[in-house]
Amino acid sequence: MKYDFDKNISRENTNCVKYDIREEYFGNKEVMPMWVADMDFETPGFIRKAIIKRAKHPIYGYTIRGEGFYTSIINWMKKRHSWDVNKDWISFAPGIVPAINMAVLAFTKPGDKVIIQPPVYHPFFYAIKDHKREILENNLIHENGKYTIDYKDFEDKAKEASVFILCHPHNPVGRLWKRDELKQIIDICSKNNVLIFSDEIHSDLILVDRPHIPLLKLAEKHSNIISFYAPSKTFNLAGLSTSFLIIPDKKLKNIYESFMNSLHISMGNIFGLVALEAAYNDGEDWLARLLKYLNSNLDFLISFIKKNIPEIKVIKPEATYLVWLDFGQLKLKDKELRSFIIEEAGLGFNDGPGFGQSGSGFQRINIALPRKRLKKALKKLEAAIIKIR
Ligand X SMILES: Cc1ncc(COP(=O)(O)O)c(C=O)c1O
With binding defined as CB under 6 A, does residue 50 bind ligand X? no
Q: Name the minimum Å distance from CB 241 to ligand X.
A: 7
Q: Name the minimum Å distance from CB 48 to ligand X.
A: 19
CA 4 to chain centre: 23
- Among 35, 166, 199, 277, which residue interacts with ligand X (rule: CB under 6 A)? 199
Nearer to ligand X, 198 or 309 (CB): 198
Q: Which one-letter amino acid corresponds to residue 354? A: G
Task: Report the alpha-carbon distance of residue 325 to residue 352 in Å, rounded.
Answer: 9
CB-CB neighbours of 89 under 10 Å: 22
- Among 37, 50, 102, 378, which residue interacts with ligand X (rule: CB under 6 A)? 37
- Among 171, 198, 227, 234, which residue interacts with ligand X (rule: CB under 6 A)? 171
Write out the binding residues for ligand X, residues 97-116 only, by CB under 6 A: 97
Task: Report the alpha-carbon distance of residue 122 to residue 354 in Å, rounded.
Answer: 6
Q: How far apart are the first and last CA of the chain?
A: 47
With binding defined as CB under 6 A, does residue 219 bind ligand X? no
With binding defined as CB under 6 A, does residue 95 bind ligand X? yes
Q: Name the minimum Å distance from CB 360 to ligand X.
A: 20
Number of amino acids touching ligand X (CB under 6 A): 13
Write out the binding residues for ligand X, residues 331-370 only, by CB under 6 A: none
Nearer to ligand X, 119 or 304 (CB): 119
DSSP code at position 139: P
With binding defined as CB under 6 A, does residue 121 bind ligand X? yes
- Among 103, 194, 196, 201, which residue interacts with ligand X (rule: CB under 6 A)? 201
Report the candidate in 55, 50, 56 with the shortest Cα–Cα distance to residue 69.
50
Q: Are 170 and 117 in contact (CB under 8 A)?
A: yes
CB-CB neighbours of 244 under 10 Å: 23
- Which x/- pattern, by CB under 6 A, does the window 227-256 give for ligand X? ---x-x-----x----x-------------
With binding defined as CB under 6 A, does residue 194 bind ligand X? no
Nearer to ligand X, 173 or 385 (CB): 173
Q: Name the minimum Å distance from CB 201 to ligand X.
A: 4
Per CB under 6 A, the segment of 92-100, 208-216, 248-256, 290-298 that binds ligand X is 92-100
- Among 77, 85, 96, 127, which residue interacts with ligand X (rule: CB under 6 A)? 96
Q: Are 196 and 104 in contact (CB under 8 A)?
A: no
Cα separation values, 301 from 56, 169, 176, 219, 327, Å: 42, 21, 20, 36, 15
CB neighbour burial string for 295-322, b if at least 16 within 10 angstroms, e if fewer: eebbeebeebbeebbeebbbbbbbbbbb
DSSP, residue by residue, 263-325: HT--S--HHHHHHHHHHHHH-HHHHHHHHHHHHHHHHHHHHHHHHH-TTSEEE--SBSSEEEE
> Which of helix, strand or coil describes residue 8?
coil
Can you give the binding site for ligand X, defined by CB under 6 A? 37, 95-97, 121, 167, 171, 199, 201, 230, 232, 238, 243
